[in-house]
Amino acid sequence: MHIPVLKKEVLKTLDPKPNENFIDCTVGEMGHTLEILNKIAPNGKVLGIEWDKELYNQLKLQDRLILINDSYCNLKEIVKKNNFSKAAGILFDLGMSSWHIDESERGFTFLKEEPLDMRYDINQGMTAEYVLNNYSEKELEKILKEYGEEKLAKIIAKRIVKQRPIKTTFELKRLIPKRTKPARTFQALRIFVNDELNNLKKGLEQAVDILEPKGKIAVISFHSLEDRIVKNFFKNNNKLQIITKKPIRPSEQEQKSNYRSHSAKLRGAVKK
């Protein structure tokens, strides 16, 4: 069951009003999308973007909701193609959907034995398995250090090269020393395979251009690399005024009821 993270806080930051138009760049399982759609009735529309074709195919069409299977790094092109104008707000929820962890069987989690794919778009790019079995020890160390902030990157990279071929999540997990978190290695590979940080920079730049004056942008990030990009982008963009002086964190109650929300940070800005 997917529970949207920081639901009330997102609505407060974006402040959707009747008949306004919004863009949800990361529809996932439509948790935030439907809340926004409800607030902008009777005539407001949401342009919803979902990169993963398999997840996109499971989404149910709603009135006033335009669903697109694409990546938000192509945001301007998507908006133009769909003749979607006057965006009063844009949301990025950078977390994986529960579906990816629970049902996709693509190796996003180290808690289940699955093939090491990790791609959101299974028709593009290389799998995590390919990276693990073909990249050099130095390249693997760089990926783990840069995208997982893993202090034991050198040790893990050495073990990976020695133990090749590596096919499944459990085979990879066994190579990670007990004194560090497997999540770091898995995060690093997922970010690298999907080029997530570059996509985020591209998406943010286009979002600011698309927004109407006084339009709002809200971004939920789940690790420090993403949060740093968002924080610096908001701070250094002279078209934006920051709404959230500090990132908004989930309440203790939300963290207890939805353990996947514990690392979430919400930042918001308004276009001048």
* Structure-token pair, residue 157: 């990279």
Inform me whether the pLDDT recorded for 4 exceeds 80: yes
Q: Which residue has the tokens 């009135």?
A: 63
Distance from C-alpha of 184 to C-alpha of 144, rounded to nearest angstrom: 8
DSSP 8-state symbol, 59? P
Counting DSSP H helices and E strands in the chain, the numbers are 13, 7
Inform me whether the pLDDT recorded for 53 exceeds 80: yes
Residue 1: its pLDDT value, please? 55
Query: What torsion, rounded to 10 degrees, do the Cα atoms 159, 162, 167, 169 define?
Result: -10
- The alpha carbon of residue 72 and the mean position of all alpha carbons in its chain are separated, in whole angstroms, by 10
Q: Which amino acid is at 142?
A: K
Q: Which amino acid is at 219?
A: V
Residues 168-186: pLDDT tens digits?
Answer: 999 999 999 999 999 999 9
Sorted by where each starts, the structural domains of the chain and their CATH numbers stand as 7-93+196-271 (3.40.50.150), 101-194 (1.10.150.170)
Closest CA to 108 of 99, 40, 75: 99
DSSP 8-state symbol, 56? H
Radius of gyration of the chain (CA): 19
Residues 210-240: pLDDT tens digits?
Answer: 999 999 999 999 999 999 999 999 999 999 9
* Structure-token pair, residue 239: 């078209």
Helix, strand, coil content of the chain in percent (nearest 5): 45, 15, 40
pLDDT band at 3 (very low <50, low <70, confident <90, very high): confident
- As a whole number of angstroms, the longest Cα–Cα distance in the chain is 60
Closest CA to 193 of 116, 137, 263: 116
Q: Is 65 helix (H, G, I), strand (E, B) or coil?
A: strand
Long-range contacts of 132-138 (CB under 8 A, 24+ apart): 132/160, 132/164, 132/166, 132/172, 132/189, 133/164, 133/165, 133/166, 136/161, 137/161
pTM of the predicted structure, to 2 decimals? 0.95
How confident is the prediction for the chain on average, in pLDDT?
96
Q: Are 95 and 224 spatial neighbours (Cβ–Cβ below 8 Å)?
A: no
Distance from C-alpha of 34 to C-alpha of 27, rounded to nearest angstrom: 10
Residues 191-206: pLDDT tens digits?
Answer: 999 999 999 999 999 9
Query: In whole angstroms, how far apart are CA 14 and each of 24, 37, 39?
Result: 11, 12, 11
